[in-house]
Amino acid sequence: MHDIEPYYQWRDYYVASDDKLSPFYGRKYSELQFTHKIYNYYIHPQWDFLGSSTLYCKIIYADYERQFVVIEFIGEWNDAVHNDIMEMKRRVIDPLIKRGINRFILIGENVLNFHASDDLYYEEWYDDVKDEDGWIVALNFRDHVVDEMRRARIHYYVNLGEAYNNFLWRKFKPNDLVDAIENLLIRSLE
């Protein structure tokens, strides 16, 4: 797991630690010292701690004018034991919403498992963005993770599933990606 880096091809466009509006502004990273673990496995030092011992993230792009953010995740999303959604909502999502972000693209290729609790924080997040024509999309989460999210009713608040899996998001530049996602959302409503 220590070899899995957050997506870095957009670093010419955006770096969260350099963004004064980012919850991760001012963070310093080591390329040599591995300090964070998911269970007994070290992870790459570029991942950001969001308050959970099993789930880490990286804001790989934020555009405050267009009001969207792309966040990549690694680990086990565990609401049942670690209350990951609460930690993420309070430490990452709420500060971004206060800065005007209302569209969230969540990249879940490296999310290995999901353990549900209740859906209250997802509902709160959805309520925070829906009146501003906002949305939350989960891209490329593993099928068993999506199945568990559906059983927990997360799909009422987060767009996820077949239409959003196997999405070749890396072929896009950030602004083109949000346009492609919006087109996908429009088609899903038709």
Q: What is the pLDDT of residues 20-32, one digit of tens each?
A: 999 999 999 887 7
> DSSP labels for 51-92?
S-SSEEEEEEEEETTTTEEEEEEEEEEETTTS-HHHHHIIII
Q: What is the CATH number of the domain that holds 93?
A: 3.30.750.24
Residue 1: which pLDDT band, with cuts at 50, 70 and 90?
Answer: low
Residue 187: which pLDDT band, with cuts at 50, 70 and 90?
Answer: confident
Angle ∠(129,85,104) on CA atoms, nearest 5: 35
Contact 27, 48 (CB under 8 A): yes
8 falls within a domain: no
Contact 70, 61 (CB under 8 A): yes
172 falls within a domain: yes
Total count of domains within the chain: 1
9 falls within a domain: no
10 falls within a domain: no
Q: What is the pLDDT of residues 145-160, one digit of tens each?
A: 999 999 999 999 999 9
161 falls within a domain: yes
Q: Which residues span the domain enclosing 73?
A: 16-189
164 falls within a domain: yes
pLDDT of 181 higher than 90: yes
Tell the residue number behind the tokens 């099993």, with chain if given: 54
4 falls within a domain: no
5 falls within a domain: no
Q: What is the pLDDT of residues 29-85, one digit of tens each?
A: 887 788 888 888 899 999 999 999 999 999 999 999 999 999 999 999 999 998 999
